[in-house]
Amino acid sequence: MQVIPVIDLMHGLVVRGVGGRRSEYRPIQSVLADDAQPHSLARAFHAAGFRETYVADLDAILAGGKQASPARAWNLYAQLMDCGLEPWIDAGARTADDARALARFTAENRRIGAIVAGLESLEHPDILTEMCAAVGPERLIFSLDLKAGVPLTEAAAWKDLRAEEIAAVALRAGVRRMIVLDLAKVGMEGGVGTEPLCRTLRCLDPKLQIIAGGGVRSAADLRSLELAGCDAALVASALHDGRLSPDDCFAPG
- Ranges of each domain in the chain: 2-250
Residues 6 or more apart whose CB falls under 8 angstroms from that of 165 comprise none
pLDDT of res. 110: 87
223-234 per-residue burial string, b: 16 or more CB within 10 A, e: under 16: ebbbebbbbbbb
pLDDT of res. 165: 97
pLDDT of res. 6: 95
Q: What's the CA gap between 215 and 221, in Å, rounded?
A: 9
- Residues 125, 158 contacting (CB under 8 angstroms): yes
> Is the pTM higher than 0.85?
yes
pLDDT of res. 183: 84
CATH topology of domain 2-250: TIM Barrel (3.20.20)
Which value, in Å, is the radius of gyration of the alpha carbons in the chain? 17
- Residues 85, 45 contacting (CB under 8 angstroms): yes
Cα-based angle 168, 170, 174 (whole degrees, multiple of 5): 115
pLDDT of res. 114: 96
In the chain, the amino acid numbered 164 is E
pLDDT averaged over 10-residue windows placed end to end, the chain, 253 residues = 93 81 82 94 95 93 70 86 93 94 88 95 96 96 94 94 97 97 75 91 96 91 95 94 90 68
pLDDT of res. 221: 93
